[in-house]
Amino acid sequence: MSSRFLSTSSKVIQTLMKAVRVEAFGGPQVLQVKEVPIPKPVDTQVLLKIKSVGVNPVETYIRAGAYANKPSLPFTPGKDCAGVIESVGSEVTQVKPGDRVFTGKAITGAYAEYAIVDASDVYNLSSSLTFQQGAALAVPYLTAYRGLFHKGGAKPGQTVLVHGASGGVGIAAVQLAKIHGLTVIGTAGTDKGTECVKRAGADYVFNHREADYLKKIVEVTGGVGPNLVFENAAHINLGKDLEILAPAGRVVVVGSRGPIEVNPRDTMRNESSVVGVMLFRATKDELAESHAAIQAGMKAGWLQPIVGKEFPLAEAAAAHEDIINGQGAIGKLVLNV
């Protein structure tokens, strides 16, 4: 009998699981599948049997050792996942084994067959959504809600430009902005990407690789420019964003891979502002509000994550390579367990 299992008089209990481990910081090749003990939930924790994992760009920075808060080695990457509760700690009453849930706070890492999560950090996954869609909920939709409303001050009747709208966070921003009464302009870098953004519900969609796309954006706003820019690639676009903003407009930066030079006079001319967004700084009340919006969206049916490429857990390295060096995101990239 395999060492993955323990035989008892009444049943066979699995004791080991497959998990992606990082034993040294580096390129995608450091993501190695290993067999490790299945963790056990205690007190307020649950053990989640993972079905699908959401892959986020930040995990590539952490893996490379380029993130400000480096985890201790070795570690299992990932926080976003969806699955079924396998067992619960002694103090857990709000959820039970068999519940379909999603989370953005896998304590022991999401790139695995099982993960420990605090019961307060798992949320109901509607039966109308797949586990792959569930893995695309937490970080993308929480980041989008925080960026649009908590930091960006988005209001019905305003216009928002979602720069890089075809990825997981961009799609979430499009759907949330649209349902809250904003006019939504989205951009993507490929024909498939622009089709994806249209499917997400954007009012106008442009290819940001075309030379005159900024001119077209200003034109559809009646020459005024967007009130808000939701920026996924500030290292490329921030200077352009400041040039086309409406008076008193705001740029919310949710993603950047390096520095950029901008002209501060552009902020003076329109009295515009730039604010950064970091999900881990959200307060308890802000997270509760954001999760309430997600649950309402699932119940109403308008919240529909778009899943893009899917990789098996064993190909986590290929997934990391794709999310950084691919030709353009089209939906949320996930690992299936």
The better pLDDT of the pair 297, 326 is held by 297
Helix (H) or strand (E) holding 137: none
With CA atoms as reference, report the closest residue to 111 among 155, 148, 78: 78
pLDDT range class, residue 78, cuts 50, 70, 90 = very high
Query: What 8-state DSSP symbol labels residue 208?
Result: T
> Between β-strands 45-54 and 81-88, what pairing exists: parallel, antiparallel or unpaired?
antiparallel
Rounded mean pLDDT, 7-20: 76
Domains in the chain, start-ordered, CATH in brackets?
A: 15-136+331-336 (3.90.180.10), 139-280 (3.40.50.720)
In this model, does residue 7 exceed pLDDT 60? Answer: no
pLDDT recorded at residue 224: 97
pLDDT recorded at residue 9: 52
pLDDT recorded at residue 73: 97
What is the pTM assigned to this prediction?
0.92
In this model, does residue 134 exceed pLDDT 90? Answer: yes
26: alpha, beta or left? (left if phi > 0; alpha if psi -120 to 50): left
Give the list of residues 6+ apart from residue 166 with CB closer than 8 angstroms, or none: 186, 188, 189, 190, 193, 194, 196, 197, 328, 329, 330, 331
Rounded mean pLDDT, 137-161: 97
pLDDT recorded at residue 12: 60
d(CA 226, CA 270): 12
d(CA 113, CA 37): 11
d(CA 148, CA 119): 28
Length of the chain: 337
Cis peptide before 57 (omega within 30 of 0): no
Rounded mean pLDDT, 135-142: 96
d(CA 206, CA 198): 10
d(CA 254, CA 142): 11
pLDDT range class, residue 197, cuts 50, 70, 90 = very high
pLDDT range class, residue 2, cuts 50, 70, 90 = very low
Taking only the tens place, the pLDDT of each residue in 296-325 is 999 999 999 999 999 999 999 999 999 988
In this model, does residue 262 exceed pLDDT 80? Answer: yes
> Strand locations in the chain, DSSP E?
5-7, 12-14, 16-22, 31-37, 45-54, 81-88, 100-103, 114-118, 123-124, 159-163, 183-188, 204-207, 228-231, 250-253, 273-276, 307-312, 332-336
d(CA 27, CA 65): 9
Average model confidence (pLDDT) across the chain: 94
pLDDT range class, residue 1, cuts 50, 70, 90 = very low
